[in-house]
Amino acid sequence: MSTAQEARNKETYHRFHEVINSGDLEVISKAVDELIHPDGRFHTAERTAVPALQAQKRIWEILLRAYPDIHVTVEDLIAEEDKIVVRQTVTGTNSGEYRGMPPTGKAVTYNEIFIVRFADGQIIDIWGVVDLYSQLRQLGLIQA
C-alpha cells in the first residue's frame, strides 16, 4: 500500500474524529453513513452481529446523552498499509442517563485504543478497547 493511501486513511479518520467532537448526533450519523462501509464490522469483547454503521450510531447516541460535552483527543495515530491504530483520551461530564443510571454530575477521563481497517476509502473493520472500568469507577458506579 502506498504512503498516499496511508495518508488518505489518516485523513478519513481525522474527519470522523472532528465530526465526533461536534456533539451533533445528526452530523455524526451522516458522517457514519459516509465514512463507514455498509458491510463494516465492529469487533468488541462482547460478540455482536450488529453492523458497524448501526453500532457507531447507537454508541454516539448513548455517549452524547450521557456526556453532552464529550471530547475525544487523539494522542497517537499510526498508519500501516490498510490499517490505522489510534490511542485517544476521552473527557466529559456525566449529565445524562448512562447504563440505566441517573446522571452523577461527575467528570471522567478515560483512554481507548482502536485499530481501524480501510477498504475503498471507507472504514470496514473497527477493533476497540475502551477503559470502561476507569470510566465507571470515576462515576462511582463501581468500587476501586
Q: Nine-digit cell at 110?
A: 478515560
pTM over cut 0.85? yes
| Cβ–Cβ < 8 Å for 87, 111 | yes
> 9-13, 34-38, 44-48, 138-142 — which is least confidently predicted?
44-48
Q: What is the pLDDT of residues 92-121, one digit of tens each?
A: 999 999 999 999 999 999 999 999 999 988
Q: What is the pLDDT of residues 45-89, one digit of tens each?
A: 776 778 899 999 999 999 999 999 999 999 999 999 999 999 999
pLDDT at 115: 97
pLDDT at 65: 97
Return the SS3 of 142: coil
| Correct CATH for 3-138 of 2.40.50.140, 3.10.450.50, 3.90.1170.50, 3.30.565.10 | 3.10.450.50
Q: Which residue has the higher pLDDT, 46 or 122?
A: 122
pLDDT surpassing 70 at residue 1:
no
Parse the chain into domains and list their residue ranges: 3-138
CA distances to 89, 101, 119, 128, 138 from 142, rounded to whole Å, are 21, 12, 39, 22, 8
